[in-house]
Structure 1
Amino acid sequence: MQIHVVKKGESLWDISRRFGMPMDQIINVNELESPEKLLVGQAIIIPTAAPSTAKPVIDVNAYTINTGETGASEIHEVGKDLTYWMPFAYRMTDAGGLEAIDDSAMIQASIEEKVVPVLCITNFSATEAGSTLAHTILSNTNIQERLLTNIITLMKDKGYRGINIDFENVLPADRVLYNQFLQLTVDRLHPEGFFVSTALAPKVSAEQKGLLYEAHDYEAHGRIVDFVVIMTYEWGYRLGPPQAISPLNQIKRVLDYAVTVIPRDKIFFGFQIYARDWVLPHVAGTEAETFSQQEAVRRAVQHDVAIQYDKTAQSPFFRYADDQGQTHEVWFEDARSAQAKFDAVKQYKLRGISYWVLGYSYPQNWALLEDNFTIRKRM
């Protein structure tokens, strides 16, 4: 495949003739909703035949936040491109229990798509940071043993094959306790035939300060668990100022550190697949709107604005004025930014990619993913 960036005055017919590719094929692979109106700066995938070359084999994971039949349909939609699937999330309780989610249809969908279902547990929620809950669990071995017994029972009953532990906002003083809990988890789950993974905040050094980072010991996680998902996204936070959500220059700083202490074949590159729209001027605490990449392009078409590309962050963006005259800034992902991230996965020789989160339409990503890699199936 090739990526073509639309120039001023170009039409789809011009592009079709230039590459010798039927317009309907270009429309289908990009799922163009307004093919008659391409934007300057819009990235278009051209599904041209390429020489046959060996593609790197990687694992691909994806989280879901929707449950029930909705989550199941999301798994079916892209299941052929997934190795693992993780529902977010079973929340732990201070008694060592787990708050259930509606996951039966999703587990069935993952099995039908030959995607390994992975239980995801966490300590936080939309309203609680989870620091106190994490401390309660990590400081009490009786609660930990009870929690792990409940986890093993649930995994056997439901058909999960492994676990993803997402402890966030852990108190810095609990760093060693967290490492000890991970070792205990591996000691309990490995003999039962289950693998153990963790989610890690995006650190650039072992000394990085902050509640999100200090208790996440990269070296220990890399040594103890089977693989890690590095959450390399959310620089463009929904409550923060507008910027690229997953800027590649920042991601590479994280990876430069990570590969010095974690085996490369244990690292999943975190890739967000949604867009955000901020109102300008930004007021601290004001929440940006989150939606799909397709919706981002739709808004650019609606307001007839050119798409720009930040070459440092390797991310597209644009500004527009709404009907009330309010200025907005939108950051999203396109074919160029996806390809740049895939190139980084190859450059760093990582185990794979982990998507946060299914439910946002991004057809260019999946087409390019298949063009760049062979997706390993473990079922």
Structure 2
Amino acid sequence: MQIYIVQPGDTIYSIANAHSVSPERLSLENDIPFPYNLVVGEALVIIQPNRTYIVQEGDTLKSISLSQQIDIMELLRNNPSISDGNLYTGEELVISYADKRTGEIETNGFTYPFIDMSILRKTLPYLTYLTIYSYQYNRDGSLIEIEDTEIIQAAKSYGVAPIMYITTPTSGDNIDTEIAHIFVSHMEIQNRFIDTILLTLQIKGYSGINMDTPYIQPPDRQLYVDFIKTLTNRLNREGYSVTVTVAPSLFEAATGITYSGIDYTGLSNAANAVLYQLTYEWKYPYYLPISILPLDAVLHTLRKAVAQFSPPKCILGFTNIGFVFEFPYFAAITEANFINYRSAIELANNTNSKIEFNEPSHSAYFHYIGNAKEYMAWFKDSRAINSLISNSQELGMRGISIWNIMYFITNIWLLINAQFEIKKILL
């Protein structure tokens, strides 16, 4: 596998010929629609197939799986274009790639309940866990229901463990900063909350929960760890897992100063797993994300946190969401608009922009003019994602988590698939 950066004068045909792959497969694996327009600076993932199969009349996924001795999930991972089960006579499918995988990895994808089911089906073969966002809890220990039955069942049919994500209630951008104190201070509310979670897990068919860590007042630091320990013990006895999510702020990543209210070691010991979620600022369009910072600063913060965790319990979370903002930029005043990877490439193509790569932050970006104003688009491409995954593996972390999977980015999933065996815990 390699990542190739489009140069001036390149075409899909010249790149394919130079790397011994078909132009059809190169365009398919990098979401490049006909007429195959390329953007200078665009990062393409190129993976040479080792063994392929030409679809015959009457073939099905099951018959190909049996004749080619390949697991159906592996067949779908190698060929996401057949996720709907439709096969066409003469179509070339990848049975195996030339690259040898380096090990096993756990993968998690966040989704909203309203995800397009065709996108979900295309993504599920690449996932160990599907985390559904989100159940909010109230001060009395009750939960606010969401409509999630269909995607829970879909996840399980692909051997993916559905995870119930639990967050603090919000009003606009305002988070209830007192709720953690209420929970750790009142055992009756705490027990009601755990009972409600267990009932929901049983009724809905979830495999476990992911508990978003709220604002914790420093005096409540140990009480919150005790609460997570109680929660984990109760749920583990019933066969459910508990993950806690912690997210460094932009201030923490920039300064290396860790907020004293969170006991990273205590939470790691109390829960089954810890999701260390980078770039949580996607929720706040008036604040720049952590991805703007130099990668060294972000990795320094990550290493400090992992040193307090048990690395095999730790999952690295990052976003595939990009940002577009107007120049000049003023903190807390300029509003950023969110953009997905494919839309960023299309915007660069439509504005005749050249994509640059900021080495310090490991982010792709480009400038363009629209309505007589200057804008910058800033996003993560396959180079950035590959770097984050590599660093997580070097630190001994168990896996990765992507916010979010509402859009399918073929080349990012293929670069993960080419390098790792993706763990399935329900098959």
| Pairwise same-fold verdict (TM > 0.5) | yes
Quote how far apart the aligned CAs of 1:34 are: 5.9
Deviates more, 1:50-59 or 1:97-106: 50-59
Percent of aligned pairs sharing the same letter: 27
Q: Does 1:297 align with 2:345?
A: yes
CA distance in 2, matches of 1:266, 1:155: 22
1:221 aligned to 2:267? yes
Aligned partner of 1:89 in structure 2 is 134
1:241 & 1:162 partners in 2: Cα distance?
32
Cα distance in structure 1, aligned partners of 2:118 and 2:358: 34
Deviations 1:176-224 (A, max 9, x none): 2211111111221121111111001226699935xxx432211011111
Residue number among 146, 160, 178 corresponding to 1:132 in the alignment: 178
Inter-partner Cα distance in structure 2 for 1:295 and 1:242: 19
Cα distance in 1 for partners of 2:159, 2:293 equals 29
| Alignment partners' CA distance in 2, 1:157 and 1:206 | 44
In structure 1, the partner of 2:41 is 41
Is residue 337 of structure 1 aligned with residue 384 of structure 2?
yes
| Aligned equivalents of 2:405, 2:2: Cα separation in 1 | 25
Instruction: Work out whether residues 233 and 245 of structure 1, in 8 Å CA contact, stay in contact via their aligned partners in 2.
Output: no
**Could you tell me which residue of structure 2 aligns to residue 178 of structure 1?**
224
- 3-state DSSP of counterpart to 1:329: strand
Deviation sequence 1:39-88 (CA, Å, 0-9, x none)? 221111222246452421011111112x14x3654432200011111111
Indicate conservation of the 8 Å contact 2:312/2:397, yes or no: yes
Residue from 307, 310, 326 that aligns with 2:355 = 307
Q: What's the counterpart of residue 372 of structure 1?
A: 419
**48, 58, 78: which one pairs with 2:123?**
78
Mark the CA change 1:241 to 1:161 in structure 2 (over 3 Å): closer, same or farther.
closer
Match 1:144 to one of 190, 200, 219 = 190
Following superposition, the deviation at residue 272 of structure 1 comes to 0.5
CA contact (8 A) 1:186 1:225 kept: yes
Contact kept, 8 Å, 2:226 with 2:270, in 1: the verdict is no
Matches within 5 A, 1:247-258: 248-258=295-305
2:325 is matched with: 278
2:302 maps to amino acid: L
Counterpart code for 1:285: I
Q: Root-mean-square deviation (CA), in Å?
A: 2.3
Residue 319 of structure 2 aligns with an amino acid whose one-letter code is Q
Larger radius of gyration: 2
In structure 2, runs of 5+ residues without a counterpart are 50-96
How far is 1:233 from its partner? 1.5
The alpha carbon displacement at 1:251 in A equals 3.1
Q: Tell me if structure 2 keeps the 8 A contact 1:268–1:354.
A: yes
Cα distance in 1 between the residues matched to 2:385 and 2:333: 29
Tell me how far apart the structure 2 counterparts of residues 109 and 369 of structure 1 sit (CA, whole Å): 22
Q: TM-score, with normalisation over the residues of structure 2?
A: 0.82
- CA distance in 2: counterparts of 1:205 and 1:36, whole angstroms: 40
- Structure 2 SS opposite 1:254: helix
